[in-house]
Amino acid sequence: MEQKSGLVITAHPGDFVWRAGGAIALHARKGYRMKIACLSYGERGESQFAWKQAGVKLEDVKAQRRDEAERAAAILGAEIEFFDAGDYPLRSSEAMLDRLVDIYREVKPAFVLTHSLHDPYNFDHPLATHLAQEARVIAQAAGHKPDPTRAYTAPPVFLFEPHQPEQCDYKPNVILNIDDVWETKRKAFEILAAQKHLWDYYTRVALNRGMQGGRNSGRAMTYGEAYQRLFPDIVEELK
């Protein structure tokens, strides 16, 4: 049987750790090939700590963030591909879209995880979502780089939790139990030294989602990760 896979498309490295680290680690542990497409190194917008050193250069910050992101991805059990498109602002290009389409076709993900549709605090995030969605649909177009032997079905899209959900019109309808991989997710937090102020914040988020997961399922759980499905779940039986 072909190995299952999952695709994660993020604007910055921190996002795949805080928002989807549990899902990545959990599915990697289940044997999925997990691939992260990281559109920037977060060098301007999520590297505040690095910029406090006098005379620091953009290239140095990028190298430091790349190293952190690679180590975090390795801990979570994922492979990572960087697009180096810059952040604050992130801008898309035809080449990026084309590469993302190729990734969808190559990875054939069972699901894709990306940002919320809106984020008035961070314009890089919805841009990444737009690219993720556009590439997902173009990958379905038979006339784009035609190959009659290709088998590809657009995967379900799960939006991971933004920093301030209410302002982002974000309403989760899936809570993933990440108890089995919480320690792994927390270890990945600790690699992101530039954002130490968020370690405890995202631990609280996971605890709150875990409490809500227990409440909604009647099953004991401690840590959760919230997602919003964009498309209907097609089922044969209601349960």
Which spans of this chain sit near Zn ion (rule: CB under 5 A)?
11-12, 15
Of the two residues 6 and 14, which places its CB atom closer to Zn ion in the complex?
14
Q: How far is the CB of 46 from Zn ion (least distance, A)?
A: 6
For residue 183, count other CB atoms closer than 10 A to its CB: 11
Q: How far apart are the C-alpha atoms of 177 and 221, rounded to whole Å?
A: 7
> What tokens appear for 12 in the block?
């910055």
On whether the CB atoms of residues 188 and 171 are closer than 8 A, the answer is no
Q: How far apart are the C-alpha atoms of 150 and 123, rounded to whole Å?
A: 34
Of the two residues 12 and 209, which places its CB atom closer to Zn ion in the complex?
12
On whether the CB atoms of residues 189 and 18 are closer than 8 A, the answer is yes
> What tokens appear for 179 in the block?
């108890």
Of the two residues 128 and 139, which places its CB atom closer to Zn ion in the complex?
128
Q: How far apart are the C-alpha atoms of 157 and 69, rounded to whole Å?
A: 23
Helix (H), strand (E) at residue 157? strand 157-160
Q: How far is the CB of 204 from Zn ion (least distance, A)?
A: 19
What lies within 8 Å, CB to CB, of 174 at 6+ separation is: 158, 226, 227, 228, 229
Instruction: Give the DSSP letter of residue 9.
Output: E
Of the two residues 43 and 181, which places its CB atom closer to Zn ion in the complex?
43
Closest residue to Zn ion in the complex (CB): 12
Of the two residues 12 and 44, which places its CB atom closer to Zn ion in the complex?
12
Q: How far is the CB of 125 from Zn ion (least distance, A)?
A: 6
